[in-house]
Amino acid sequence: MSHKIFILLVLAQIILGNAKGQNIDMIGKQKAFRINGGFGFNYSSTITNDSNRVAMPNFWSLNMNLNVDIYGLAIPFSAVLTNGKFNMNNSFSQFGISPKYKWITLHAGYRQFGYSSFTVSGQTFFGGGIEIHPGILRMGFFTGQLHKAVKWDTTQQFQQTIPGSYPLNVNTVNGANYYSPQASFERKAWGAKLGIGRESNYVDFIIFKGQDYSSSLSDANSKANLIPEENLVLGVNVYQRIGKHISFGFNSAASIYTYNSTSDDITDQINKDIPFKNYIDKLIPIRATTQFQWAGDVNLGLNFSNFSLQTEYKHIEPYFKSMGLTSGLSDLELFSIQPSWSLFHQKIRFTNMFQFQNDNINHYKQLTTNRMMINSSVSVNLSNRWGFDISYNNYDMKQLKQRAVIPDSIQAHQQSNTYTFAPRYIFTNTLFTDVISLIGSYTNMDGGIQVNGNINSIQNYYATINNSLAIAKGGWNINTGLNYNSSKTIINNLQSYGFIAGISKSLFNNKLGLSNNNTFLWNTLNAKSSGNTYSIDMTGTFFFLRNQNISFGANYLFSPANGVYNNKDFHQTRLTISYQYNF
């Protein structure tokens, strides 16, 4: 009888919810039944003279989330009603379970598998899988649907899914925007992993296969506008920790990607010396639209108590793709080194990152883009009361011509340097705590010479000093500060300076919290006054009946016209209210 009950629980889990890996062998030690969750309401109204800046002037939503725990099996459920649009995407529409017993884990429903960063990672599959880790053996397999078939339906373009909002689900194809789910064939995939080792030392061999099924759609529009694709990826992933201080990692994959699986099969015409050609033929035919690309990275780390060094080299061929990845880089060669060290028992810490990268690996492009990034900082904490941080950030991007016939005017060059100094002082006793902080920065960005001959450069100065005072008795918090910002280009010189002031207070034994924050800035454009910017923000939260709270807020913002960012005066008033109950 107990076995039947257990089977029913697992089936209920698959039908109702989305559960992460659960230890089945711990079920007898878990509490039989628990439920928790909450529901709430949110509303906001925005009044403005520029509706283009506000996506949803009137917004309301009802939300509910439940988590039912039956012998350690968690069954989450959530639902949201937003401006009349009902959404249960996080519940029934994508459900799954990953029960675990000792060294076996089963996967069923909507699941994600992370084999490596170049093969399978982040994609959601609907299907099943298994992972087996007995001792040092590392095995895994999954199969399922990557996405469903979606017809090419022009009547659904530009549809708004939430009333009063901008269109969602934007897809861009060849420069055209589509606001409905992009049409596609049904795509199925499977993957397998075989490795040996443990988390600190392992070697994994990975295979992944994905394929579009053109038979999943039969309408003429879809057949005319969609092209089925096919993909096979072979990868290896290595991680080794050597002793206490050295770590080594290697990750690589080769991808065979066919951009049109209906094009001519040229398997018999290609070089017979291709490694494992006879095995590859059985998994994916080589067609006229098939490309072979690879990607890989290698890293080495040294870690000591007061010193560490991390290095990485990455190489990704142009057009490298895997259907098992949600997104990925392409045409990239990168080298980075990150040394860091500390002195005087961690009181002074140095961190650095030097990175160099370029594209145009195959020299097919007319221009090669080189990038260099440097981030260096030192943090000094000589006592519990005071310290400071100093940082330097450099970004340099330039393009080099591969052919002399390319005009100089289309070459891009951008360089920026940022220097930051941030001291701080903390004074504390039994009555209050006072934190004084200063942040000053200077940024110089040179964008090179534009086509019209103007120098595209920006100089920016920024400084702010803040004082945060917390009074122990009475629950008072007072924040004050001064701001200064100057941005200078070849055309304009914008400056703003002013103050911020805020106060918060807890009342009735922390059952009611009130806060107010204000900002006022004087603005100038080319040494002439361009008006004042100010904002007022007030919020309050009331906690009652242990698990319930209601919040309200009001905000007003005014920004004057300056001919650069605002062509006319901008003002906005926003009111919000929310209620939440948790149990």
Question: How many residues in total does the chain contain?
Answer: 583
DSSP 325-373: BS----SEEEEEEEEEEEETTTTEEEEEEEEEEE--TTS-SSEEEEEEE
What distance, in Å, lies between the first and last C-alpha atoms of the chain? 33
Question: What's the pLDDT score for residue 348?
Answer: 96
Q: Which two tokens stand for residue 419?
A: 């220097």
Phi first, then psi: give them for residue 38, nearest 5 degrees.
180, 170
Q: Where are the beta strands (DSSP E) in 27-57?
A: 33-48
- What does the DSSP assignment read for 251-272? EEEEEEEES-TTSPB-GGGS-T
| Residue the block writes with tokens 């990845």 | 325
Q: Do residues 507 and 528 touch, judged by C-beta distance below 8 A?
A: no
pLDDT at 29: 62
Task: Yes or no: say if 328 and 321 are a contact pair by the CB < 8 Å rule.
Answer: yes
Distances (CA, A) of 184 to 151, 191, 322, 525: 7, 21, 17, 52
Other Cβ atoms less than 10 A from the Cβ of 212: the count is 24
Closest CA to 235 of 283, 281, 297: 297
**Burial per residue of 250-283, b for 16 or more beta-carbon CB atoms within 10 angstroms, e otherwise:** ebbbbbbbbbebeeeeeeeeeeeeeeeeeebeee
Element (H, E) at 30: none
pLDDT at 272: 62
The CA distance from 323 to 209, in Å, is: 8
- pLDDT for the residue 320: 96
C-alpha distances in Å from residue 279, one per residue of 232, 267, 389: 12, 12, 58
**CA-CA distances (angstroms) from residue 559 to 501, 521, 522, 556, 572?**
18, 10, 11, 10, 9
Give one word for 437, left, alpha or beta, with left for phi > 0 and alpha for psi -120 to 50: beta
Q: Which residues of 512-546 are buried (b: 16+ CB within 10 A; e: fewer)?
A: ebebebebebebbbeeeebbebbbebebbbebeee
pLDDT score, position 11: 42
Q: How far apart (Å, rounded) are the C-alpha atoms in residues 239 and 361? A: 27
165: its two tokens? 């909002």
In a 13 Å sphere around the CA of 155, the CA atoms on its Cβ side amount to 2
**Alpha-carbon span 447 to 470, nearest angstrom:** 44
Confirm if 579 and 545 have CB atoms less than 8 A apart. no
3-state SS of 445-481 is EEEEECCCCCEEEEEEEEEEEEEEEEECCCCEEEEEE
Task: Output the CA–CA distances (angstroms, integers) from residue 297 to 329, 336, 465, in the order listed.
Answer: 12, 11, 43
Give the C-alpha distances (Å, rounded to integers) separating 427 from 430, 431, 471, 476, 546. 11, 11, 12, 16, 35
Q: Give 82's strand partners.
A: 61, 85
pLDDT digit of tens for each residue in the chain (583 aa)? 444 433 333 444 433 334 445 566 665 566 778 888 899 999 999 999 887 777 678 889 999 988 877 765 667 778 888 887 776 655 545 677 888 889 999 999 889 999 999 999 989 999 999 999 999 999 999 999 998 998 876 655 544 454 444 444 555 554 444 445 678 899 999 999 999 999 899 999 999 999 999 999 988 888 888 999 999 999 999 999 999 999 999 999 999 999 999 998 887 777 666 667 777 878 899 899 999 999 999 999 999 999 999 999 999 999 999 999 988 889 999 999 999 999 999 999 999 999 999 999 988 888 899 999 999 999 999 888 999 999 999 999 998 887 666 666 567 788 999 999 999 999 999 899 999 999 999 999 987 655 455 567 899 999 999 999 999 888 899 999 999 999 998 888 999 999 999 999 999 888 999 999 999 999 999 989 989 999 999 999 999 988 999 999 999 999 988 776 677 888 999 999 999 999 8
**Residue type at position 487:** S
Decide: residue 509, CB within 10 A, 0-12 exposed, 13-18 middle, 19+ buried: exposed
